[in-house]
Amino acid sequence: MKKFYIIGLLTILFFSNSLAYDRVVLMEIFTSTTCPPCASANPYFDNWLKNYSNKDRVAVIKYHTWWPSPGNDPFYYANTVENQARVNYYGTNYVPRGIVNGTGDGTSSPSTWISLIQNSIINSSQFEIKILGNVDAVQGGNLTIQVTADNNPIPTGTLVLHTVVVESDLYYTGTNGDPVHHFVMRKMYPNQNGETFTINPNETKTFSRTFSWNSTWKVDNSYVVVFIQNQSNKQVYQAAIRRANVFLASPNLVFPPNNALNQPINITLRWNKISQATNYGLEVATDSLFTNKIFSDTTLVDTFRTMTKLSRETRYYWRVKAISNYAISNWSPVYSFKTLPQNVPNQVQLLLPRRDTVIANPSMVEFIWQPSAPDVDYYRFELSSDSNFTSYEVDTILTGTSFTYDMRYKLANAYYWRVTAHNGVGWGQSSLVWKINFLRTSVDDKISLETFDLSQNYPNPFNPTTKIEFIIPKSLLNGNGTNRITLKVFDLLGNEVATLIDNSASAGKYEISFDAEKFNLSGGVYFYQLNLNGFQKTRKMIYLK
């Protein structure tokens, strides 16, 4: 029975200290630029700290006094109220003087200061302090301070949280001849009294500090020191120090790429590693403002997170930020992705060349179709000289909604084409099969203006006018007087938006001006088409408004 009691007691004692944190020692030094012994004590301590292996776990504040004579220390006069308050708090009446963790009086001996630090740093603390955020040299900034207690009982007495800005690498030679000064106290927040607070075991308290940065302080040489002190017995339980401005890069989002379509409903989001980050924050929402979040977590330690059971055919937005013990990065740029649709794409609707079009003396022929939905990732374009597509002139995969092909040397007089759309679910239904006919005039039929031709408009793109040239050969005119020519403009959906010519035809070369403003057209892509006795030619033009 006794053995069991002892083992149980040891287990309880071990657990009660299992969450203790590494100690950050607070070193408070009282000094002056008019104090002769300070001229040797300060450099001695500063050089030791510079080479100390645990220097990041030593938070230093130097308060400057208004004595000894002549008492003209500029660092004291820069902040008389708070320097005096800390002098009076410890009852300091000589300099230099060093105090470790509020109760370890190192008197005027830098070697004693160092011994006290080394003896204290090996002990753990029941508190952890994190300083988050950044201070800007122009606009100041807001810092968030997080204080976490382990599961040990909280000490009795009034706890005070002090926040201090200190500045190093200050060059000034006073009457004692010391030219360089480090960790000089500049300002205490909210003031010299700090902020009293209470906390329970296993609790985290958050404090906000707003900094209106003094333009005379160099932000790159400044540090923020935070410490917890018992107001009654002066004991300091934990401290923290970090630079006032710590840049932490935002992560780059890696996968899926921005605006990706057809993503699975169980998807792993990935981003790059930030070297100083201890963890990451990830937000996923169904809107770009992140008002409808489906996931939010700031404790991720990996550079990936798998999302499961997402909704189909839904666009999601996501962003990531890096978090360290000292700073939080800005959010990454917002990426989006869309999950797999419910169904395969709709049947593709063909636009140009129109079914049963006759093209005289073909050259470069542009095939155009309407975009399909939902979430098409590519199209299959097929062109064959037989309607059953037993053999192919062209069989290719495309991401756009057009294809241009050189038909000048093709032997067949008729060709068939169709297009099929694909998305993450599969292939949709193929379009209808459209036939195009070719007419090749013989040399005997040719005159000086021998080719039925529609030139590319010029200029192109245009705003708002452009010129269109075309040729009507005698070979295509019949003798019964029923020749008729039309020149019309169509939008991307195949809707007629303008008729430029609708007259009887005669052979010759023609030029016509087209003014898009007269037809109240919006900027975009249009097609103009010339028709003569069943023969047709089409070209594309771009109106920049």
> Domains in the chain, please, with CATH?
18-243 (2.60.40.10), 253-339 (2.60.40.10), 350-435 (2.60.40.10), 444-543 (2.60.40.1930)
Q: Lowest-confidence range among 10-19, 209-218, 335-344, 416-425?
A: 10-19
Q: What is the pLDDT of residues 60-84, one digit of tens each?
A: 999 999 999 999 999 999 999 999 9
Rounded to whole angstroms, what are the CA distances from 401 to 10, 155, 265, 320?
75, 73, 28, 35
Q: Identify the sign of the CA torsion 323, 328, 332, 336.
A: positive
pLDDT value of residue 19: 66
43 membership: H or E segment, kind and range: helix 38-51
pLDDT value of residue 8: 42
Question: Mean pLDDT across the stretch 281-307?
Answer: 95
Contacts of 150 (CB under 8 A, 6+ apart): 17, 18, 19, 20, 21, 126, 127, 128, 201, 202
* Total-model pTM: 0.51
Q: What is the pLDDT of residues 233-242, one digit of tens each?
A: 999 999 999 8
Question: Mean pLDDT across the stretch 369-397?
Answer: 91
Beta strands in 217-303 (DSSP E): 222-230, 236-243, 253-255, 260-263, 267-271, 279-285, 293-300
Spatial contact of 294 and 287, defined as CB atoms under 8 Å apart: no
**Percentage of residues of the chain with pLDDT beyond 90:** 65
pLDDT value of residue 369: 94
Question: Mean pLDDT across the stretch 345-350?
Answer: 94
3-class DSSP string for 442-501:
CHHHCCCCCCCEECCCECCCECCEEEEEEEECHHHCCCCCCCEEEEEEECCCCCEEEEEE
